[in-house]
Amino acid sequence: MAEATITESSIKTALADRLKAVHVEVQDMSGGCGQAFTTLIVSPEFAGKNSLKRHRLVNAALKDEISQIHAWTAKCQTPEEWEKEKAATGGHDGPSMEGTTDGKVVGVDQ
């Protein structure tokens, strides 16, 4: 059986459905080949959980997808944390582009 292609859209849909996320941003950092992604996930499911438990929740929700991805970064916030950060940063709410050149992971063939 062939593996399904992982895309920004498929990850976004999966996170919204599986984690009841109210906001999801996904950026393919690999130039479209689906091997490196960074995400911002805003879900009430993260309330009362520390960073490690939030990431474990995301990894469990995307178990099949993550097994096909080379690099994965997730920023996990509750709706309240997200609103507070947006207010503090003047509305910027996207995933961090740190470690990239023009939004792409350095050293990845396109």
CATH number, domain 9-90, options 3.40.50.2000, 3.30.420.40, 3.10.20.520, 3.30.300.90: 3.30.300.90
Model pLDDT for residues 2-30, shown as the tens digit of each residue: 456 888 999 999 999 999 999 999 999 88
At 79 the pLDDT is 97
Model pLDDT for residues 25-73, shown as the tens digit of each residue: 999 988 777 789 999 999 999 999 999 999 999 999 999 998 889 899 9
Q: Which residue has the higher pLDDT, 72 or 90?
A: 72
**What is the SS3 assignment for 36-67?**
EEEEEEECHHHCCCCHHHHHHHHHHHCHHHHC
